[in-house]
Amino acid sequence: MLEKGLLVAWSTRQLAELAGTTTKTVRHYHDLGLLEEPERAPNGYKQYGVSHLVRLLRIRRMTDLGVALADVPLVESGDEKALRILRHLDVELAADIARKQRMRRELAAVMGNRAALDMPPEFRTLADDLPEAQRSLLLAYSSILTPEAMAALREQLSGPRGTLEADFAALDEDAPEEVRQRLAERMAPEVRQQHRDHPGLADLGVSSRRETAVAESVVVHALLEFHNRAHLDVLRRVHAILFEDDITEGDSKDARG
């Protein structure tokens, strides 16, 4: 039989090493009342035994599972409150796993297609078909548009790509006025149709989840940043054509009335 008196007690450092933790953590558990203070040797040093090691390992086991230190005594009680804490922890872990799985899917998309890094997640499949400036615009717009508006925008961009968008993207900053005007006249009917198909996108008051002034500032800054002067001039011309058409249509309705 082994006599207790023959057993060698452990120091704080030795106990911490056995439990795979630090002396600072052991002292912190003492301060919180989670780990009982051991007896001291005549020289004043603490003397830890196997009961302290088991207790420390149990605390570490619970914290490794995500239990907060403040909840350790409650979880140990095993009552209904302990079950509620563990169920809540399980829900949090499930949400964290889902978030990390989504992150892995997005990382895979980025590794497979570097352009996808510049796109909101729901637009990743369009990354190859969009010019860099349009990808940057979409990323900026994702900060202000509602999920419904972003879904409408995605639907709008998912259609067949014609030469019009490519011609606009390739427009040189020094393009002659007649080239800009012709491009604006080609774009106006398409923009008009887009407004009819997705009227909310034309009204930031409806499509934005931010204050209108903030949303407008994002749009203006993004347009100025990612378009050259010729692009902006064409967009102004498109707006003028649509405005003039609206006036003409209104006059016609008044005449018929």
pLDDT in tens, 48-70: 999 999 999 999 999 999 999 99
Instruction: Output the CA–CA distances (angstroms, integers) from residue 243 to 4, 106, 176, 237, in the order listed.
Output: 96, 41, 23, 10
Distance CA 142, CA 222 (A): 12
pLDDT at 233: 96
Residue 113's contacts (CB-CB under 8 Å, 6 or more residues apart) are 124, 127, 128
Note the pTM of the prediction, 2 decimals.
Answer: 0.57
Query: Tokens at residue 101, please?
Result: 């799985």
pLDDT at 247: 76
Mean pLDDT over all residues of the chain? 86
Q: Is the pLDDT of residue 81 over 60?
A: yes
pLDDT band of residue 1 (cuts 50, 70, 90) is very low
Distance CA 238, CA 180 (A): 10
pLDDT at 118: 64
pLDDT at 108: 76
Nearest to 193 by CA among 238, 247, 143, 244: 238
Average confidence (pLDDT) over 201-219: 90
pLDDT at 50: 94
Q: Is the pLDDT of residue 121 over 80?
A: no
pLDDT at 38: 92
